[in-house]
Structure 1
Amino acid sequence: MRCEWCEQHEAERIRCTVYWELPDGTRAIEITDTPGFECENCGMEYQSEEVIQEIEDQLLLINTTKLEKSINYEELMKQPRLLKYNYFRF
């Protein structure tokens, strides 16, 4: 797969740990086992725009005060939403 950073065809799908600031800015959390890519050429680890948007939307739509310091990606996505949709995304 083509790397979004160096544009070489060396990127492979991985699961990794990322750190995300909550929408209210009060703290950051660790999200483990997050889908992503790693490039063997440049060494960059990154998430697709789709995964980034999923995380951002989920964190905006759930009660983040109930989150621990660390959560698995799948567990995060299963958290009950306070709203059905992110009405602020254009």
Structure 2
Amino acid sequence: MSKETCEWCGAEATTGSGTVYWELPDGTRAIEIKEAPAVICSKCEMVYQTEEVTKAIEDQLFLVDTKKIGSSIGFEELMELPRLLKRNNFDFSS
């Protein structure tokens, strides 16, 4: 675990992992993603994903066949799914 600064309260936080729930890009359902990288603050008790992790999850969900994902999947397993496209053509941030 490494040290971070909590984006919510500014206190020292650590990195870890947690379970998150994500709506699929087509809006048909939500899935559980286990062991997603997280920032964990012991002061305000906030547990959240960094912008980089959020972008990685969103990009991957745009690029894989989400019909092959059950109601729950591990973060690493999600990131290892084969992509239908090479990149997210709907991402205009870069």
Shorter-chain TM-score bucket reads over 0.9
- Structure 2 length normalisation: TM-score? 0.92
- Structure 1 length normalisation: TM-score? 0.96
**Sequence identity of aligned pairs in percent?**
57
Separation in 1, partners of 2:42, 2:90: 37
Q: Identify the match of residue 21 of structure 2 among 19, 26, 35.
A: 19
In the alignment, what sits opposite 1:2? 5
Separation in 1, partners of 2:25, 2:6: 28
> C-alpha root-mean-square deviation of aligned residues, in Å?
0.6
In the alignment, what sits opposite 1:73? 75
Q: Identify the match of residue 54 of structure 2 among 46, 52, 55.
A: 52
Structure 2: give runs of 5+ residues left out of the alignment.
Answer: none
Question: How many residues are matched?
Answer: 89
Deviating above 3 A after TM superposition, structure 1's stretches of 4 or more consecutive aligned residues are: none
2:30 equivalent to 1:28? yes
| Cα-to-partner distance string for 1:2-31 (whole Å, 9 max, x where unaligned) | 10011112x111110000000000000000
Structure 1: give runs of 5+ residues left out of the alignment.
Answer: none
